[in-house]
Amino acid sequence: MEPILKIENLTKNYGAIYAINNLSLTVNRGDIFGILGPNGSGKTTTLSIILGIIKQDTGNFTWFNKANILDNKKIGALVEQPNFYPYLSLVDNLNIVAEIKQVSNIEKEINRVLELVSLHERQLSKFNTLSLGMKQRLALAALLLGDPEILILDEPTNGLDPKGIVEVREIIISEAEKGKTIIIASHILSEIEKVCSHVAILQKGKLIKQAKVDEILKIEDTIIISSDDIDVLYEAIARSGMFQKLDKIENEIHIILNNDYFPKDINKFAFENGFILSKFEVKKKSLEEQFLKIIK
């Protein structure tokens, strides 16, 4: 794996209050990396430092193994409230952004990003006539200008209605499928769960856990199975050593697997030992449940 961003022992404090406290994490090429935490956990401060908006007190970070050096052509960022000229049209605002980013084929590129965020029909509207959700989508269009390989988004679904949230989610996934690296800061756990491959959980400026999302969700997944030979199947699984916890509840067996095993292994075990399963269900805990457990 190729590290795109490395943060090492980063600290930022305001008097006695630590916005981030000795934070270290790594984002690799192609990750959809979620920085997750409640308000005040240090998400926006972290993004602001790695984008050069504010300066850390101690620690360092590297982009592409180059200390504190940003290549704005490679990075598209949306941090906090989007800022545009209120009395200019969407096209005029994006023209300014494109000039700053030194984008080639500006007209074609603006048309591309406006189509992508479903704002092409409003291209001549003034910014101050847009709803909060539309303003957020325009900000997303601005960061996509020039087709940067790294996208950084702070609360990207803020102010969006359910349809807009789905559209933004689809755009993020589509951009990730192109091999881009995406960093998303959010307090909305369900969106991180649906979009991200990796997650760092922050609390009061400290890193509590960093892992793949599916690894966090895998913890304590309960597999529920049933068979006509329920007692014999239970005894076979009990001897297998595959589980952390095993219970027989009425006509069902509830299994929490050891870390080395996956649900497919139970299905394979039953088949290879001649059992026909009449029920096979994986009851997953949500990221929200795991998050609340982790930060206790």
Task: Output the CA–CA distances (angstroms, integers) from residue 148 to 96, 139, 153, in the order listed.
Answer: 17, 14, 13
Which of 170, 195, 215 marks a domain boundary? Answer: 215
Dig out the tokens for 31 from the structure.
Answer: 């990750």
Residues 18 and 107 occupy one common structural domain:
yes
User: Of the given ranges (28-32, 54-58, 61-65), which has the lowest mean pLDDT?
Assistant: 61-65
- Candidates 128, 122, 194; CA nearest to 157 is 194
Q: Are residues 26 and 145 in the same domain?
A: yes
Tell me what the mean pLDDT of segment 260-270 comes to. 88
Which CATH number does the domain housing residue 264 bear?
3.30.70.100
Considering the entire predicted model, what is its pTM?
0.75
Task: Give me the mean pLDDT over the 13-28 stretch.
Answer: 91
177-187 per-position pLDDT tens digit: 999 999 999 88
Output the CA torsion 214→219→221→223 (10° steps): 110
User: Number of structural domains, the chain?
Assistant: 2
Q: Are residues 148 and 195 in the same domain?
A: yes
Domain boundary among 215, 230, 246: 215
pLDDT at 54 over 80: yes
Does 141 have pLDDT greater than 60? Answer: yes
Mean pLDDT confidence for 117-131: 92
pLDDT of residue 8: 94
CA atoms within 13 A on the CB side of 7: 25
Q: What CATH number does residue 171 fall under?
A: 3.40.50.300
Task: Give the chain as a 3 state SS string.
Answer: CCEEEEEEEEEEEECCEEEEEEEEEEEECCCEEEEECCCCCCHHHHHHHHCCCCCCCEEEEEECCEECCCCCCCEEEECCCCCCCCCCEHHHHHHHHHHHCCCCCHHHHHHHHHHHCCCHHHCCCEHHHCCHHHHHHHHHHHHHCCCCCEEEEECCCCCCCHHHHHHHHHHHHHHHHCCCEEEEEECCHHHHHHHCCEEEEEECCEEEEEEEHHHHHHCCCEEEEEECCHHHHHHHHHHHCCEEEEEEECCEEEEEECCCCCHHHHHHHHHHCCCCEEEEEEECCCHHHHHHHHCC
Condensed to tens digits (0 to 9), the pLDDT of residues 83-96 reads 899 999 999 999 99
Say if residue 120 is in the same domain as residue 185: yes
| Residue 200, strand partner residues | 35, 210
Residue 285 scores a pLDDT above 80 = no
Q: Based on the fold, state whether residues 209 and 66 are members of the same structural domain.
A: yes
* pLDDT the model gives residue 17: 87
Q: Which domain holds residue 65?
A: 3-215
For residue 6, pLDDT over 90 is answered with yes
| Tokens 């930060």 sit on residue | 295
* Same domain membership, residue 133 and residue 19: yes
Is residue 145 very low, low, confident or very high in pLDDT (cuts 50, 70, 90)?
very high
Asked if 170 and 50 sit in the same domain, the reply is yes
pLDDT of 68 above 60: no
- Please, what is the Cα angle at 186 between 45 and 205, to 5 degrees? 40
Going by pLDDT thresholds of 50, 70 and 90, the confidence category of residue 70 is low
> CA nearest 250: which of 220, 230, 278?
230
Query: Cα dist. 2→27, 28, 59, 148 in Å?
Result: 9, 5, 21, 17
